[in-house]
Amino acid sequence: MFLAQVVNFGILAFLLHRFLYKPMLKILSERSAKAKEVVEGAASMAQAKRDLEQEIVETRNKARKEADEILVEGQKKAEIIRAGVIAQLEKELVLLKNKALAEIEKERAKAMNEAKNELASTVILAAEKVLAREVKNEDSIKLAQEALSKVKE
């Protein structure tokens, strides 16, 4: 009986080895390979994620830098435009001031001429009354010039 048990055990061991142990090793090997692939895939995905995050940070920094440059450039252009507008306004102000001064001078000269003419007429009227006669046109011009020359002195 011992020999039968040893033979049965040998047959059982052979059958288990052949039909159970080898397929089980094959399945475990395949699962191990798949697990390794999954781990490697996860590692590569993690690396890709880190690369993508780094690229996003770099792109964001680059965009922020470009936005700052655009802002600075816009401020410079605005300052140039503002300076140009101020210069133009100053020129226009000077022109308006000069025009106003010329107009004032023109009005002053006109008022002086009117005053001189009125003074001359008054002098002529006074002279006519003093002389009690009518002064001729030539005489009135002469008298007006004399009166004006006295007024100028």
Digit-coded pLDDT (tens) for 90-107: 999 999 999 999 999 999
pLDDT in tens, 104-129: 999 999 988 888 788 777 777 776 66
* pLDDT tens-digit readout, 17-65: 888 888 888 999 999 999 999 999 899 999 999 999 999 999 999 999 9
Q: Please report the pLDDT score of residue 137 as a whole number.
A: 65
- Could you give the residue ranges of the DSSP H alpha helices within 1-152? 2-15, 22-131, 137-152
The set of long-range contacts for 117-126, using a CB threshold of 8 Å and a minimum separation of 24, is 119/147, 119/148, 119/151, 120/144, 120/147, 120/148, 123/147
Among 94, 73, 92, 95, smallest CA distance to 84 is for 92
| For the chain, domain boundaries | 2-152
| Model confidence at 89: pLDDT above 90 | yes
Kindly list the distances between the CA atom of residue 152 and the CA atoms of 6, 110, 114, in Å, as whole numbers in the listed order: 159, 16, 15
